[in-house]
Amino acid sequence: MSQEACGCLTLQHHMLEPVQRVPRYEMLLKDYLKKLPQDDPDRRDSEKSLEIIATAATHSNSAIRKSENLKKLMEIYEMLGEEEDIVHPSNEFIKEGHILKLAARNTAAMERYLLLFNNMLLYCVPKFSLGGPKYTVRTRIGIDGMKVLESSNEDYPHTFQVSGKERTLELQASSEQDKADWIKAFQETIEIFQHKNESFKNALKDVEEVSKAELGKRAPRWIRDNEVTMCMKCKEPFNALTRRRHHCRACGYVVCWKCSDYKTHLEYDNYKMNKVCKDCFSTLIGETVTEGKKKGILEIEAAQFTGSSIICSFLQYCEKNKPWQKVWCVIPEKESVVLYLYGAPQDVKAQCTIPLLGYSVDDTTRPTDPPASFRLSQSKSIHNFAAESEELKKRWLKVIRVAVTGEVPECPQTNGSNANVTDNNNTQEMGTDCT
């Protein structure tokens, strides 16, 4: 640093020299070519040198931007409590800032924070905590299908509207310039996204597709991972955690796990089982794949069971030391060894289920229990029930004592004296069997 040959510059200054030389060379070559005659023998080499140094400068700037973008994504990731899948090469940060959101009912202004990316908008609310995450993501709105419109409000100036598939927001900027900056950022982001999406669709047209007649009979050309940023079936963007890339072995498309969760035999691979997309699976097996997931055991509506049950009625229920509660109990014909407990006869989801097989039944009366009570016990699991009457209790015990052995119980006979049919919901209050 003290040597005159080094210009008495600091070490940090000298470390910047290699970085600064690239743009310097580019500017020097441009000036050199302006003054170099067209017929000079050095012109061809000079132009080639400028092309090389310009490419190097572009790569250098691109690497710096990627590094800065990744650093910014990490900051946002920590700011949101490390819960959102933000850090991904396909995500590009565009703009952030405080803004006011107008309530839909009374137009009250609430402080919010926006994070705009190339493919989504994160609508965040402040989180008051010491040293922890600053914001919580309230809504994630995709850029696909998003629209931005200016709006006017006499009480709240500088307002505009962001409308997406997931939600519509009416926002108030701090000034007219801030409003213009936000609208410009949104419009440019939407325009770039749409342009890339159109390019993506055009690229699909150029792909040599396997015809339906050859599907599964000829190996397809796989689309490269870096050629797509979104699932080629559902158009959802890929990410490193929840939506990764998979290839359909029949058509070669890059799809997400949801769209490739199918397997079938492919002729070109000696009829081995291969992972295929939903569309190819439907074509190969000749059936339409139905959408939607299967309902869980608790998600079957009470009304579906009540209409074809061995026995169903209201009972009082108590588990361990919890207070007694009134529940709608059903043993369906299709699952005759399972007792379903609902809060009401029209509930769409059961509170719990009890597989009766292997349970022991105890109907002895205890001083602390209500009248007409009985218990189901297995190991440390004990379920207490109480019927409205002794007659109803006997009918339940008749069915349960058969069900715990694994056999199909018959519908108990009833004289109808205890049936109380309500007109409002057409459900039986007690003692309603074999509906």
Tens-digit pLDDT profile for residues 190-217: 998 888 777 655 655 555 556 777 888 8
Would you state the pLDDT for residue 384?
92
Measure the CA–CA gap between 161 and 163, rounded to whole angstroms.
6
Query: What are 221-232's pLDDT values in tens digits?
Result: 888 877 777 788
Cβ atoms < 10 Å from Cβ of 42: 12
Q: Is 70 exceeded by the pLDDT of residue 141? A: yes
pTM of the model: 0.42
Instruction: Tell how strand 309-319 and strand 381-386 pair up.
Output: antiparallel
Instruction: Tell how strand 93-102 and strand 109-117 pair up.
Output: antiparallel
Would you state the pLDDT for residue 121?
92
Q: Is 90 exceeded by the pLDDT of residue 394? A: yes
Average pLDDT, the chain: 80
The answer to whether 54 touches 26, Cβ cutoff 8 Å, is yes
Query: What are 61-83's pLDDT values in tens digits?
Result: 777 777 888 888 888 888 887 76
Would you state the pLDDT for residue 423?
33
Report the amino acid identity of residue 49.
Answer: S
Q: Which CATH architecture has domain 214-285?
A: 2-Layer Sandwich (3.30)
Class of domain 93-198: mainly beta
The answer to whether 242 touches 256, Cβ cutoff 8 Å, is no
Fold of 302-433: PH-domain like (2.30.29)
Query: What are 357-377's pLDDT values in tens digits?
Result: 888 999 888 888 888 999 998
Closest CA to 93 of 113, 76, 112, 111: 76
CA torsion through residues 54, 55, 56, 58, sign = positive
